[in-house]
């Protein structure tokens, strides 16, 4: 047992043994452990068929991940990034990275990825150098690219990028899309086979007061995506400007019937319930119907009570009238 320290954060986990030999291991997930490059190198060397690695909330002291067998690599959360990470995995087909600044990841023996999910931190770097992210994802079928670092890289690289001939599904955003759609529109120009597009508007709670986003004009930019069936726009419920994004998509020729707006609050609620958005929608419809039925029943019961009161009042009036008539007869 050991402790994976990071400043004042309490991050306890397992330390990897000095020798790990797993000759049949194909998939490895390390969660809440302290990982050093030398340990990982020995483990990879003694696991000759290892092709799928996941690091989840680990304390990374990694400088190099090198493997000719590795096909899938996920880095999800981290503590103590150290000096940055170099990846040398030429046969990698899927790469996922959540939270690690893009500027701290470098590549050797660049792979040709079939899919990628990258959600980066804001490093405020302009990426004037040649990062060549698009070169690695050019033949991908599914991409999720989010964060201001991604925006900075794509603004540089998409200007002269080749066509994404295989791209079918694209999720992109993480910045203020309302007045900054250049990366989205340019991607659409280069993705003739795209079928589903998801735009992620920056959440309102993550907006820094006074923060501005530089934007590149999109006036006059046109695209053709004949296979595009669905455009999902994710945003906060209180985002009053999301209509501008919807109108901008419509102005570029995407029919309103293809555009769907989904709120982050509903996504989080569905995740808490362990249900899909469709299941939550059906649940809400059912609950609404039940509520309306209860209200109708209550109204009917209230109406029935009122009718009973009216009947009682009429009976009392009839009794009074009969008593008056009897009194009149007695007078005669």
pLDDT in tens, 228-256: 999 999 999 999 889 999 999 998 889 99
Q: From CA 114, how far away is CA 251, in angstroms rounded?
A: 31
Query: Mean pLDDT, to the nearest integer, of 170-177?
Result: 94
State yes or no: pLDDT of 212 exceeds 60. Answer: no
Provide the terminal-to-terminal Cα distance of the chain, rounded to the nearest Å: 112
Q: From CA 253, how far away is CA 225, in angstroms rounded?
A: 10
Query: Mean pLDDT, to the nearest integer, of 85-94?
Result: 94
pLDDT cut 90: percent of the chain above it: 42
Could you tell me the CA-to-CA distances from 294 to 180, 181, 203, 284, 289 in Å, in that order? Answer: 47, 47, 37, 15, 9
Retrieve residue 23's tokens: 């000759």
Q: Tokens 């599904």, residue?
A: 169
Q: Which of 59-63, 141-145, 277-281, 314-318 has the lowest mean pLDDT?
A: 314-318
Q: Tokens 């996504």, residue?
A: 267
Query: Mean pLDDT, to the nearest integer, of 15-21?
Result: 69
Residue, of 266 and 304, whose pLDDT is higher: 266
Beta strands in the chain (DSSP E): 2-3, 12-15, 27-31, 33-36, 52-61, 64-66, 72-79, 85-88, 94-98, 105-108, 115-119, 142-146, 169-173, 196-200, 230-235, 259-263
Answer whether 0.85 is exceeded by the pTM: no
- Is residue 109 within 8 A of residue 90, CB to CB? The reply is yes
- Crossing angle of helices 264-273 and 277-331, in 10° steps, is 90
Query: Mean pLDDT, to the nearest integer, of 285-296?
Result: 85
């Amino acid at each position: 047992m050991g402790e994976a320290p990071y400043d004042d954060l309490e991050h306890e986990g397992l330390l990897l043994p000095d020798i790990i030999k797993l000759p049949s291991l194909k998939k490895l997930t390390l969660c809440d452990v302290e990982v050093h490059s030398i340990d990982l190198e020995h483990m990879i060397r003694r696991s000759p068929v290892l092709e799928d690695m996941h690091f989840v909330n680990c304390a990374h002291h990694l400088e190099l991940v090198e493997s000719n067998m590795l096909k899938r690599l996920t880095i999800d959360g981290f503590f103590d990034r150290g000096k940055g990470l170099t990846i040398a995995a030429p046969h990698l087909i899927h790469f996922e990275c959540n939270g690690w600044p893009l500027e701290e990841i470098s590549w050797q023996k660049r792979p040709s990825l079939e899919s990628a999910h990258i959600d980066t931190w804001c490093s405020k770097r302009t990426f004037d150098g040649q990062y060549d992210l698009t070169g690695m994802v050019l033949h991908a079928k599914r991409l999720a690219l989010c964060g201001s670092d991604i925006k900075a890289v794509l603004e540089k690289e998409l200007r002269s990028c080749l066509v994404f001939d295989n791209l079918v599904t694209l999720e992109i955003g993480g910045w203020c899309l309302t007045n900054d759609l250049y990366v989205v529109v340019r991607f659409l120009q280069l993705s003739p086979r795209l079928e589903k597009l998801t735009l992620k508007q920056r959440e309102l709670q993550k907006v820094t007061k006074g923060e501005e986003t530089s934007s590149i004009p999109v006036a006059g930019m046109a695209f053709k995506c004949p296979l595009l069936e669905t455009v999902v726009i994710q945003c906060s419920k209180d985002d009053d400007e999301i209509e501008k994004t919807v109108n901008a998509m419509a102005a570029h020729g995407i029919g309103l019937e293809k555009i769907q707006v989904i709120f982050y609050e509903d996504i989080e609620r569905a995740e808490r319930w362990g249900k899909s958005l469709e299941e939550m929608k059906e649940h809400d419809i059912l609950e609404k119907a039940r509520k309306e039925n209860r209200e109708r029943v209550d109204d009917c019961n209230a109406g029935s009570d009122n009718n009973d009161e009216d009947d009682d009042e009429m009976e009392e009036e009839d009794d009074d009238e009969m008593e008056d008539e009897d009194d009149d007869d007695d007078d005669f």
